Structure 1
Amino acid sequence: MIDVTNDDLTAARALRRRLHARPELSGQEHETARIIAAEMRGAGAHEVLEGLGGTGVAAVFHGTGPGRCLMIRAELDALPILEESGVPWSSEHDGVAHMCGHDGHMAILVALARALGRGFARGRVVLLFQPAEEDGAGAKAVLADPRTAGLAPDLVVSLHNLPGLPIGSAALADGPMGSASRGMRVRLTGREAHASSPEHGLSPRRALSRLMEGLTDLDEGTFPAEQFALVTVAGVSMGGTAFGVAPGRGELRATLRTLTDERMAQLVRDAEALVRETAVADRLGVTIDYHEVFEATSNHPEAVKVLRRALDAAGVEHGPEGQPWRPSEDFGRLSALAPAAMLFLGAGEGQPPLHDPRYDFPDALIEVGARIFAEAVTVAV
């Protein structure tokens, strides 16, 4: 039995508030990573890897006997949001805040680490603190780090807090868990002209207008149908600040979202074909590039089985309602390491939603999350 004590939880709550006050953006989590690495060493980890995939940290704990390896993942990064929660531990960094609860996810693993450090029966546990989840770059970077292969997990699990679910309850299901998504940036190039003679130039105005309608017309199905596709126009711009110049350049930014990677590939082909046809029709040059690319996340039945048994052992109410969800999760890429699954942990029905400037991770979830993962270790290894 892995016993998470009141002292473990008290320390984890204090750490959560410390991390909340000192948030760092994706890829810049240097102080956060140093704090976490020190916590892992203090907890008695047998090995601590730093700089994994940039700023990531992995802590390895060995049981007293042989067994399988369970990897449990949390995230290091915060968001470019100005906090409005008003809590005493509010962000000290203007315009950066833990509005997704990653501070709480880290605290859960710190509480668990302290318990693991006192010993457990068998197997091996890897606590992975992943960088850059919010922009979709972190898991890919961790996988590209040659040291990750040596961690060799048999299963990978994680959780994400979710406002709207009753506090302390869980959502878990086999199959699709989070959407694939990517940011598409389209740049159109024509020719400027004097504002008095716009006909002498090549303006992107009509092309941008058609694309705003045409791209959103690619929407299909109702989530979570397999053919579901959603295109959201995130921004449009053209020209400069001079009133005397008719614009010759424009940019459109859109988010493409599907439930599966296969449907995303088709949506990308359709969107690119539409963009190029529209540009050719108006004799415009065009470039297309992509940002914040997330693969679809799907829960493997083997990993789900372990988490269900852990939820039952921890006495946590759970069901499939709440999965899948429309947002994306960088966790999906980690299924390349081993069968993987993520559960949602209810943060309360009256909570502000994730990424809301008023959000603050409920400290009560630290105990629930740590208990779930402690049971998962016992079940999995």
Structure 2
Amino acid sequence: MIDVIELRRELHQYPELGFTEFRTAAKVVQLLSGWGYKVNYAQDTMDGESRRGLPSEEVLEEAYQRALREGADPAVVERMRGGYTAVVAELDGSSDGPTVAFRFDMDALPIPESDKAGHFPADQQFRSSHEGIMHACAHDGHTAIGLALAERLSDRQFAGKVRLLFQPAEEGVRGAYAMVQKGMLDGVDRLFCMHLGTGVPTGHMRGAARGFLATTKLAAHFSGVSAHAGASPEEGRNALLGAATALLNIHALPRFSTADTRINVGILEGGSGANIIPAHARMVIETRSADEATNRELERRVRQIIEHSAAMHELEAKIEVIGGAIPIACDAELAELAAAEAAQIPEFAHAEPFSDASALGSEDASYMIRRVQEQGGKATYMIIGTDLPAPHHHPEFDIHEAVLSPAVTLLERLARKRAGD
């Protein structure tokens, strides 16, 4: 049996950003294949045109070469080249029954990991070996849990089928949509998604999370004309000025009476010198709302501001969607089932079907959940508690590794649960 803690530490040491999870995904393929799963990956699991916020070809190639240097199977990663890093595996049980799916995200974050004494990964020498990148949101734990679950279920002592979805690029809510568009959620009767932490302490488990927001991530590219800022400024068309005009007006949008909303311009960049009228500028924006329709209206207004701001300054503007998610509505039946199964595991002293806390974040597993529910299936998004020394997305983030094995046991119980039991 694999050691889930040891596996988590290895994954932690080699973090990879969204769509560059070549080494991680190759290891997933290798282990699943060895346990007898039917494994699909690369372009068989993702619709290429539906990937959002794909890194540049240069970034993808650099990550690909790094994975090869770090021992990834060349034949496997060659098929993933270009950012096709999703893996989907399926295994038939010993008798007829439902198709039960589990989703695990694999990507890390562009955050330098702490090297301070007292930071457990640093003290135990499994701190990130990729400077500027770290697992600061527990996805290393998620992937390790998924693989440990796969090994336990390889005995096929369950009814129906198990489908394991290893997803790239959850950060920025970018990767799930392409898997849904490829049909990877088709035919699923029950879908269980999960996350470690999120403010829930060790020993607690919640069968369904609430409060996830709809969101749209946009990148706006403004194009103008360069000119000498002193000698002939009137000949220029200032792309950065147009983007700044858009920024101020985006943040001036009103609040909504229909639902809670959030808006943020997270990146504004452009220009090349103090004496040059900027010909290009780039802005990255996100909209969020508790209501899907309200988020769409907020996005419409943002697009209108960008287009009109560009027109004011005689610029061209191109807008692309680089990420997105929709609200999550968990099915009570699965939430209650998950809590009931957790209550049978000693490490979960407090198992509750629902979380009263609002997440106020977004999750692209929402597209997977919606797809399953549209087909008549049921889905939920569980929270497995772990004490955290620092918040998610923090350089000193870490998890309480003792939660990993009980989490595997919970998912195993859910996979082996017969319909109607």
TM class by smaller structure? 0.7 to 0.9
Q: TM-score, normalised by structure 2?
A: 0.77
Count of residue pairs the alignment pairs up: 364
Aligned residue for 1:333? 367
Paired with 1:251 and 1:41, the residues of 2 have a C-alpha distance of: 43
Aligned residue for 1:26? 18
Paired with 1:234 and 1:212, the residues of 2 have a C-alpha distance of: 10
Give 1:226 deviation, angstroms.
Answer: 5.9
Greater share of strand residues, 1 or 2? Answer: 1
Aligned residue for 1:375? 413
Report % sequence identity: 24
Amino acid at match of 1:375: R
Give 1:271 deviation, angstroms.
Answer: 1.2
Is the 1:226–1:259 contact (alpha carbons within 8 Å) kept by the matching residues of 2? Answer: no
Match of residue 100, structure 1, among 137, 143, 148? 137
Three-state SS of the structure 2 residue aligned to 1:377 is helix
Paired with 1:251 and 1:46, the residues of 2 have a C-alpha distance of: 44
Give 1:272 deviation, angstroms.
Answer: 1.6
Is the 1:172–1:323 contact (alpha carbons within 8 Å) kept by the matching residues of 2? Answer: no
Paired with 1:248 and 1:32, the residues of 2 have a C-alpha distance of: 40
Of residues 265-274 and 354-363 in structure 1, the stretch that sits farther from structure 2 once superposed is 354-363
Answering whether residue 343 of structure 2 is matched by residue 312 of structure 1, we say: yes
What does 1:248-287 align with in structure 2 at a 5 Å threshold? Answer: 248-287=279-318
Give 1:102 deviation, angstroms.
Answer: 1.1
Give 1:200 deviation, angstroms.
Answer: 5.0
Three-state SS of the structure 2 residue aligned to 1:68 is strand
Three-state SS of the structure 2 residue aligned to 1:296 is coil
Aligned residue for 1:3? none
What does 1:107-186 align with in structure 2 at a 5 Å threshold? Answer: 107-145=144-182, 148=184, 152-173=187-208, 176-186=210-220
Three-state SS of the structure 1 residue aligned to 2:384 is strand
Encode CA deviations 1:209-245: one digit per residue, 9 max, x unaligned.
4433321232526xxx96122111112233212x322
Answering whether residue 91 of structure 2 is matched by residue 67 of structure 1, we say: no
Paired with 1:50 and 1:204, the residues of 2 have a C-alpha distance of: 41
What does 1:205-216 align with in structure 2 at a 5 Å threshold? Answer: 207-216=242-251
Encode CA deviations 1:344-364: one digit per residue, 9 max, x unaligned.
22221x521122122223211
Amino acid at match of 1:72: F
Encode CA deviations 1:75-96: one digit per residue, 9 max, x unaligned.
1222222221424111222222
Give 1:323 deviation, angstroms.
Answer: 4.5
Is the 2:243–2:306 contact (alpha carbons within 8 Å) kept by the matching residues of 1? Answer: no
Paired with 1:172 and 1:217, the residues of 2 have a C-alpha distance of: 38
The runs of 5 or more residues in structure 2 that have no matched partner are: 47-83
Paired with 1:192 and 1:50, the residues of 2 have a C-alpha distance of: 45
Aligned residue for 2:60? none
Amino acid at match of 2:197: L
Amino acid at match of 1:353: P
Answering whether residue 274 of structure 2 is matched by residue 235 of structure 1, we say: no
Residues 304 and 163 from structure 1, CA distance in 2 versus in 1: closer, same or farther, beyond 3 angstroms?
closer
Aligned residue for 2:385? 346
Three-state SS of the structure 2 residue aligned to 1:314 is coil
Three-state SS of the structure 1 residue aligned to 2:329 is strand
Residues 162 and 217 from structure 1, CA distance in 2 versus in 1: closer, same or farther, beyond 3 angstroms?
farther
Three-state SS of the structure 1 residue aligned to 2:308 is helix
The runs of 5 or more residues in structure 1 that have no matched partner are: 1-6
Amino acid at match of 2:204: S
Paired with 1:23 and 1:238, the residues of 2 have a C-alpha distance of: 30
Residues 272 and 19 from structure 1, CA distance in 2 versus in 1: closer, same or farther, beyond 3 angstroms?
same
Q: TM-score, normalised by structure 1?
A: 0.85
Answering whether residue 347 of structure 2 is matched by residue 355 of structure 1, we say: no
Is the 2:174–2:322 contact (alpha carbons within 8 Å) kept by the matching residues of 1? Answer: no
Is the 1:309–1:376 contact (alpha carbons within 8 Å) kept by the matching residues of 2? Answer: no
Residues 55 and 249 from structure 1, CA distance in 2 versus in 1: closer, same or farther, beyond 3 angstroms?
closer
Three-state SS of the structure 2 residue aligned to 1:297 is coil
Paired with 2:93 and 2:178, the residues of 1 have a C-alpha distance of: 28
